[in-house]
A and B are shown apart, each in its own frame.
Chain A
Amino acid sequence: MTTEHPFYELIQALVADTIRSTAGFQGELVLCATIVLILISRIPRFAARIDAFWLTLVGSAAALYLAGPWNEIAQPSELFTGLLVYDSFTVYFRTLLFFFLVLFTIFTRISGIPDRDAGPDVYSLVLGATLGMCIMASANQMLMVFLGVEMASVPCYALAGILKGRRTSSEAALKYAVYGAGAAGIMLYGISLLAGVLGSVHMPTMAVRLAELLQPANIEQHIGADTYMVLALGGMMVMVGIAFKLSAVPFHFWCPDVFEGASAEVNAFLSVASKAAALALLARVAIGFGYIPQTISAEPPAAAINAPAEQTEATSVPIKLVSQTTEQAGAATGTFDRDDQIAALAPVREFIWKLVAFLAIITCTFGNLAAYGQTNIKRLLAYSTIAQAGYMMMPVPAAMVLAGHDPVAAREALAAMAFYAGVYVFMNLGAFAIVALLRNQIHSEEIADYAGLIRRAPVTTICFAIILISLIGLPPLAGFAGKLLIFYSLVQAKLWTVLVIAGLNTAISLYYYLRVVKVMTIDPEPEQVRAAEINFIPGTYIVAITVPVVLLGLAWNQLNELTLAASAHLF
């Protein structure tokens, strides 16, 4: 390649990097194309007959197909000049999101919300939100963190209000939007503080700067001590944004109201996809600041091997734009290598684990206690979602404690989180699917109206019972395997307080989950009842969602190995 004007070279390199990066971004691109297609298909008369459902289904299935590959990612790499990171953790969560999207699309068809007119709106919003969630799961840069959160949130605000003309639905949407805007503003402020002090928005670079700031020599001489407060404040503000997405206490207030007002379909989407993405983001940010990952290679992802060889070569330049700083930083301080940096970040990890552990504990406990008094099933499940978010956050502090001295165990901790997120797809989608399908039959979402349901809809009731019991975490169901792995990560990190509180919470949660089961099975039927017979296709769908909950409880070796592979590059 002949040397050209530096500007031309830069452009050329950027083009090459973009082409290379798109290979690792195919799933998201398919979603974008699907959204455009759905929107355009409304305009010509002949295309108006195409149901948006089919477009969405095909689009999400294609995205799922392209989300792989699994075993071929030897080394993690950065996409789009370091905006996103492409590793097996990205692939896992992306696959999970697309897989959920497929299941969710089928579910909306069965439950009948949205109807045909609202279909294009709803599906394009859902796809757009999923796109944002994918970015959350692979964010490598603070701006992408913010962009991902916003891209995932804004469509959700609209989704919450999708039941037009219903007061509660509009109220939910407004509440959600106002709360979300506030949280996003705080988060953005936090990002600006962090970026201001550390001089970058690229997380690995920020971590290196942070390590330099905190290296023993500087601490002894109190160099940079005046910035600690700003950093801590910035960190907490960023956490506010993530906690909002996770519906962690005390940023959970929107959750029960939104869940009660929005339709069960939207709830399923919010409680599963949104939560999984927020968890991945939490892990990304925690690792991003608390740990120095192994040098991210500039090698293209395996899928991009077909790209022209010349362009691949040229990628070294823009990558340098980013990773240069890392190298320089290393060179400037002489022997201050990766191990020293990781050691220097110990206070950051301590800050993160204490913050997240505290949030996890109160989220879990509050969610479980508040669920006691609920009479509306959607509100109850909203609090259950909050409590479950608490459990799912717990591996992050464990990983932060372990990262410094036992990377293998730290990986296992985040694998536990990924595992729980995986089984959570089935548990919560199943729960909300049953709530939605029952609503279509008995036109009620009050727990009291489920009385004696087992006499009218035995299969549905048994499936619901299995899902609720799995949410408690009793063997031999999938929820137990997830909880076992999470608890084990806490044991490894020796976080005894968190462990005991998590254990007690399991016992507390028994009561309200079982109360629903009790109402459905033990309580007598009321005098006048509506038929609750679930038809063949919805029934099959419910069973199909419930069967994995049982199977993953009996044989969870495969999923466990999958999640271990997913977290293999993190530490």
Chain B
Amino acid sequence: MESSYVTLLSLIVFLPAAGALVLAFFPRDKGDAMKTFTLVVTAAVFVLTLIMLLPGKGDWQFQVGVSDMQKTFSLPWIESFNIYYFMGTDGISFPLIVLTAFVSMLSMAASWPITKYVRAYCILFLLLETGMLGVFLALDFFLFYVFWEVMLLPMYFLIGVWGGPRREYAAIKFFLYTLLGSVFMLIAILMLYFASDLKLLSDEQLAAAYVVDTSLSPEQQTAQIAELRAHAGPIHTFNILALQQIGQHTDAFDGEILWGKSLQWWAFLLLLVGFVIKVPSVPVHTWLPDAHVEAPTPISMILAGVLLKMGGYGIIRICYPICPDAGYDLAYFVCALGVVSMVYGAFAALAQKDFKRLVAYSSVSHMGYVVLGIGVWSAVAGNEFNADAWKLGMNGAMFQMIAHGISSPGMFFLVGVIYDRVHHRNLDQFGGLFAKMPLYAGLSIGIFFAGLGLPGLCGFIGEVFVTLSVWNFSPGLAVVSASVVIITAAYILWTLQRVYLGPEYKGPHPEALTPMTPREILIAAPLLALAIVFGVYPQAIFNYLTPSVDQTVNELATWTKDGKAPRIESEATAALPAPAAIVAQQ
């Protein structure tokens, strides 16, 4: 069966890249044909993910309710450095893959106004999509990093060539920030690789990490493990699942390396910096407003819809499971990052005059929920080990990522629609659009309400889940995060008032305010429809998410109970003089 998974997942990842290659042979003047072709390729990728999504027992269907990795395969790539072409998906990555394919398709459809260097645009767009899908599917850390970096260059050019007036500044700023983060990530990856050793793991753990080829017969598997164990010296690995096992079940990453901190503490911090830049959290968020404002509309949609999710995905898949000890110690730090981003982003959004910049800051604020939800380390409820609140938080964070992946591309697209018509984004010069473009205004209000977190729309579920889960961890943070909702409501409602309501439009180009074209409706309507569906029936996403998220949390809770708690206790007793000694002294 494994070969069929190789085909499926490789197709999903590399179909866009193959399409980019084909585009190189298109005649120069066939711009529309190139765009159509690119749209067809992105649609084909989306269809492939739909095949996985649709219920059924077929080989390619995603098995709902299974918490483990599915569709895994592992082929040797660079054997002398233990690098594998190792991919697979589970409930955490699968919804993000579907989202990526969906948003890519919509934003390609939103790319029709692009007329400059169409071929280059389409090629870069498709390479970007390959990178994004690869990040979510890769289970080898090296492969993950390669895909992570592969996205940067297309993104740089997409912003730098097709962007607004300050595009070059924005593009290089985006690139520098992300590269700095990924250099830190690379250092952390190498540290973990250096400290890892597959021989520390039990046979079952090796099988669970797919180090052993599970499609082989039991005898062959035993032989494979024996061969592994016979190897002289440590066997380093980039296998993310194996690193998770090592991080949770051995002390391989506990060695002290610098300033009294352990290897995993540093690795966690370095990885977190890399991911948090992508999320982005305050104070490393400043690339985002620039990049968003300057990027062309479809690229803003991709940025907000997919790229930001990679940070959250990285934290949930890599930071916590691989370095739980550091995650435990830094829980407050991570949560504080989340809350600060929420508050700061919301206030900053309130102050914006530029429509797109406002939406960009709202992304900073909304992604803060994700960081907060993941960071809530509340495995201990009272004196019991009960991870329910944490599960709530992490599920909420994942849901928030999907919800934000629907509402924020929608918001950026709608800003783009009006910008294409009147060529400005100054909030103070809008007004009265409801009368001129009723359908547009209706769709906008729906999607902005979804961003606001109105009950019944998708934004609500994630925010509530996260806020509820924080109570258990820190009531203070919970109060702050709950009150952010008010600021969010303020800036969104105020925006709606300034743009859509009011007597009449007084800005430039009033004659250009024509109703939405069918193409535009076809892009915005599905986003609103999904926002409503997920708001009313969140189970549609939770069915996929929950098993895997719960398992991740359970594993970490078990680790807290069996690994961390006794250690904290023994450290506490060691710090105090033993009672017996006190008695003896007296």
Contact = CB atoms under 8 A, between A and B. Distances in A.
Interface in B538-560: none
A544 interface: no
Contacts of A514: 156, 172, 175
Central interface residue in B80, B146, B168, by most chain A CB within 10 Å: B80
Interface string A508-525: 001100100010011000
B81 interface: yes
Central interface residue in B81, B180, B257, by most chain A CB within 10 Å: B81
B78 A557 contact: yes
A555 interface: yes
Nearest to A510: B179
Interface residues of A, number: 32
The B contact surface, by secondary structure, is helix
Contacts of B258: 496
Contacts of B78: 555-557, 560
A395 to B, nearest CB: 14
Contacts, number: 76
Interface in A333-369: none
Contacts of A488: 190, 193-194
Contacts of B80: 557, 560-561, 564
Contacts of B190: 484, 487-488, 491
A500 B269 CA distance: 14
A499 B160 contact: no
Contacts of B179: 474, 506-507, 510
Contacts of B48: none
A443 interface: no
B308 to A, nearest CB: 21
B176 interface: yes
Nearest to B167: A522
Given A475-B149, A556-B78, A560-B78, A503 B172 contact: no
Give the contact-size bracket for chain B. Answer: 20 to 34
A408 interface: yes
Nearest to A509: B179
Given A408-B233, A510-B175, A522 B168 contact: yes
B156 to A, nearest CB: 7
The A contact surface, by secondary structure, is helix
A487 B187 contact: yes
Interface string B16-58: 0000000000000000000000000000000000000000000
Interface string A473-486: 01110001000110
B255 to A, nearest CB: 10
A562 to B, nearest CB: 10
Interface string B520-531: 000000000000
A564 B78 CA distance: 14
B153 to A, nearest CB: 7
Contact of B176 (A408, A503, A507, A564): A507
Contact of A475 (B81, B145, B180): B145
B493 interface: no
Interface string B359-390: 00000000000000000000000000000000
B485 interface: no
A522 to B, nearest CB: 5
Interface of A: 408, 469, 474-476, 480, 484-485, 487-488, 491-492, 494, 496, 499-500, 503-504, 506-507, 510-511, 514, 518, 521-522, 555-557, 560-561, 564
17 contacts: A469-B153, A480-B149, A484-B186, A487-B190, A488-B193, A491-B187, A494-B257, A496-B258, A500-B187, A503-B184, A506-B179, A507-B183, A522-B160, A522-B168, A556-B78, A557-B79, A560-B78
